[in-house]
Structure 1
Amino acid sequence: MSTQNLEGKHFGVVRELQNQYAEAKAPGIPKELLERVQARVKELMPGLMAWRERFPAIATSRLKAATLGCVASDPGATLEQHLLISKVGLLVFAVDDIADGEIGALSDEEIHRVLARYAETARAPESQSWTGAGEAEAVGGAVQDVARSLHALPGAKRYLALWQEHFRRMCEAHSTELKDKRRAQQDGTLPTLQHYLDVSRWTCGAPMYHAAALVVLGPDFAGDVLQEPLVERALVEMALLGRWMNDVRSLERERAEGKANGLSLLIAGGMSEAEAEKSAVERAGQHLESLQKVVGQLPEPLRPWGKTLVATGHFSRMFYMQREFHHAESGG
């Protein structure tokens, strides 16, 4: 029954896209690398399970999905690099779960405060103490652990400020999204589609995640990535691609929760549900095309990193056709 609920009503659009990917043979994980990817995922599991035991608010059900996405986007990274980037991916889910109230028992004001503390921990890992009980404290400890690791890397000198900025944006956007959700629940006021996209491009966590990957990979780039518009454009295109595909999968659940969703906003604007789904999938494709163009224009030292974004874009589209990525399935 849960599979039926996740599939929605109009997945002819997704089946068509699956067929297109099959014909193009471009799912983001080349067949010759598939066994290597799967072997690395298996190799990473013990370390991630041990990390999760230290910070038990991290959902076990997220481990494989986060790790598979990490390895599939850059199969050539080292085991240590994959491990750290996978932890960053798990933080995306964990912070989202706290902000949504899916774990923990915090009031809205407490959620706003803890999100601000997470952002401050990313900026200065020793500025906050995460020694209390409860899920929010455990997530804070995980943020602190990852931040310490990123601060210590050689790539921190060039790229840490980019990660800190996008971690801050992610947390602030979660606070804004919570306020928007409460407003909609209280009086039915929906955000505009543009406002929704301006917020949800950061709450999806993709820019923070890929900024962290730059810190970990540490390419030799002499410029300031915070002042490089192509880096920002690549991160935004990646985020919007993932956001539209996530919204296709999560429409029914988020509608039941009283949360805005890109498809529900298109429907509120006059589209049928089937039309909204088709538009969302098309928009995701357009963002993937734009991402590929931007990556081709990146400064040469950053192009390998950019290619990991493109690979992640292909992977996320295929993954969302199978099941929802941003929210774990029960028992999964």
Structure 2
Amino acid sequence: MTDYFRIVNTTLDDTLDSTRPLAGIRPENLDDVAKIAGRLVPHVAQWAGKYPLMGGVGDAGSRIVFACLSSATAFPHRSLDELVDWSALALTLFALDDVMDGVVLDYSLEQLVQFTEMCLAVGKGNAPTPADRVSDPEAQVLAALRECSGRFAKYPAYAKLQGYVTERWNRCFTAMCQESRWRLHGEPPPTLDDYLANAVWSFFVPLYFAVATTTLDPDDLSEDALGTWDKVMHVGSRAMRLCNDLRSAERERAEGSLNALALLTRSGHTEPDAIAAILAEVHESLAELDARIAELQPSLARIAGALLRTTHFYCSWCLARDTHGLTIGLFRQLLASHKENR
């Protein structure tokens, strides 16, 4: 799995100026985020150690560092236990994505559809009980999902919003299966607009932040509020997916997977021009996200701030040259260096 984390795009790197490993965290928040993430990493690594697919051993934990930094950035005022919840969910979704992309299992489309149906059953209480250590990748994902569901069941709006969250799971899995059809069945490539309409769902952001609504007061969550929240999540997801597509373009080209950069270059753009067009779209999406969040009702403000911070952090993370190789060991060195240079 180590080589999989070497996510490079040479043309993109030649375009960018950013090389700061903790790009995306506001300078005034960096001390707090780094301190929280530093405390969080060993707890999340211990949790991930039960599931080898999560990359929970020593310096192989690049994803653990990302999950902890992202959780600390999004939810800086939550307890350590709650931050473990969010980091565990992120790692589980990464592992699920590995299965769907054929990184760890060479599944047919039919097998992938069956796998998503089993994942969806987690929300209905029909998943296997987690073992101390699970060896099969599919079983690891199912067990971790079940554990995450148990963790989030303690939140105040979980019971009221279980149907809302389950529907987001369903839409996410439907979108992921469509991406698998493009990859495995050689269907005609979609337009960029059709690709992105699907990709905002398959990228997990609407699902992750639908789960975030379970932390709010259930009496404040009307259908209108949730409908507005869906639209805001899609804007953040679009910006993050575009940045992800830039960063992972070379790897996905080798896998035969579609992404926004590949679709633009197929339509006649040079790669530098396509990168510039995508970066312009990212900036427009970030500006739209700021405007939409400013108009949200106060009851959604807490998770709206989390979405905004996450979007800026993730976009900057993907657009920095060296962050996907930020392992646990290197992260500890960065924290020590940051402390010395304050």
Smaller-chain TM-score bracket: 0.7 to 0.9
Unaligned stretches of 5+ in structure 1? 22-26
Do structure 1's residue 95 and structure 2's residue 96 form an aligned pair? yes
Q: Are the aligned partners of 2:243 and 2:318 in contact in 1 as well (CA < 8 Å)?
A: yes
Query: Is residue 76 from structure 1 mapped to residue 77 from structure 2 by the alignment?
Result: yes
Supply the distance in 1 between the matched residues of 2:293 and 2:258 (Cα, whole angstroms): 30
SS at 1:57 equivalent: helix
Give 4+ residue runs of structure 1 displaced > 6 Å after superposition. Answer: 2-5, 324-329
**Given the superposition, is the C-alpha separation of residues 154 and 296 from structure 1 closer, same or farther in structure 2, using an over 3 Å criterion?**
same
What's the counterpart of residue 30 of structure 2? 34
**Is the 1:40–1:71 Cα contact (8 Å) retained in structure 2?**
yes
Instruction: Name the residue aligned to 1:152.
Output: 154
Residue number in structure 1 paired with 2:237: 239
Q: CA deviation at 1:161?
A: 3.2
**Could you tell me how far 1:42 is from its partner in structure 2?**
1.9
Distance 1:10 1:263 in 2: 11
What is the rounded CA distance, in whole Å, between the counterparts of 2:223 and 2:47 in structure 1? Answer: 30
C-alpha spacing 1:41/1:129, structure 2 compared with 1 (3 Å): same
Q: Distance in 2 between matches of 1:151 and 1:38?
A: 28
Using the TM superposition, name which of 126-135 and 73-82 deviates more: 126-135
Residue pair 1:247, 1:263 contacting (<8 A) in 2 also: yes
Instruction: Provide TM-score, normalisation by structure 2.
Output: 0.83
Contact map agreement 1:246 1:325 (CA 8 A) in 2 = no
1:21-71 per-residue CA deviation (whole Å, 9 max, x = no partner) reads 9xxxxx652333322211211212232122112222212321110110111
Q: Which has the higher contact order (CA 8 A, sep 6+)?
A: 2
Q: Which residue of 1 aligns with 2:45?
A: 49
Equivalents in 1 of 2:325, 2:241: separation in Å?
13
- Partner Cα distance (1:213, 1:267) in 2: 36
Alignment match, 1:24? none
State the Cα distance separating 1:175 from its structure 2 match: 1.3
Q: Cα RMSD (Å) of the superposition?
A: 2.8
CA separation of 1:88 and 1:105: change in aligned 2, threshold 3 A: same
**Which residue identity is paired with 2:68?**
T
Distance 2:290 2:296 in 1: 10
Aligned length: 316
- After the TM superposition, which residues 1-332 of structure 1 pair with which residues of structure 2 at under 5 Å, given as runs? 6-11=8-13, 13-15=15-17, 18=18, 28-60=24-56, 61=61, 62-121=63-122, 123-124=123-124, 126-129=125-128, 133-184=135-186, 189-215=188-214, 217-219=215-217, 221-225=219-223, 228-323=226-321
The one-letter code sitting in structure 1 at the alignment partner of 2:116 is: L
Distance 1:4 1:212, change over 3 A: closer
Partners in 2 of 1:75 and 1:133 — Cα distance?
33
Q: Which shifted more, 295-304 or 43-52?
A: 43-52
Distance 1:97 1:5 in 2: 14
- Distance in 2 between residues matched to 1:175 and 1:7, nearest whole Å: 26
% same residue: 22
Question: What is the CA–CA distance in structure 1 between the aligned matches of 2:52 and 2:192, rounded to whole Å?
Answer: 36
The one-letter code sitting in structure 2 at the alignment partner of 1:178 is S
User: Deviations 1:117-155 (Å, cap 9, x if unpaired)?
Assistant: 10121x21x312257851110110000010122123222
1:180-236 deviations in Å (ceiling 9; x for gaps):
11233xx7x322222211221112111111222222x32465233576332011110
Paired with 1:130 and 1:196, the residues of 2 have a C-alpha distance of: 36
Cα distance in 1 for partners of 2:323, 2:249 equals: 13
Matched residues in 2 for 1:327 and 1:137: separation?
27
- Return the offset for 1:90: 1.0
Structure-2 separation of matches of 1:30 and 1:159: 32
Q: Unaligned regions of 5+ residues in structure 2, if any? A: 331-342
Distance in 2 (alpha carbons) for counterparts of 1:249 and 1:87: 23
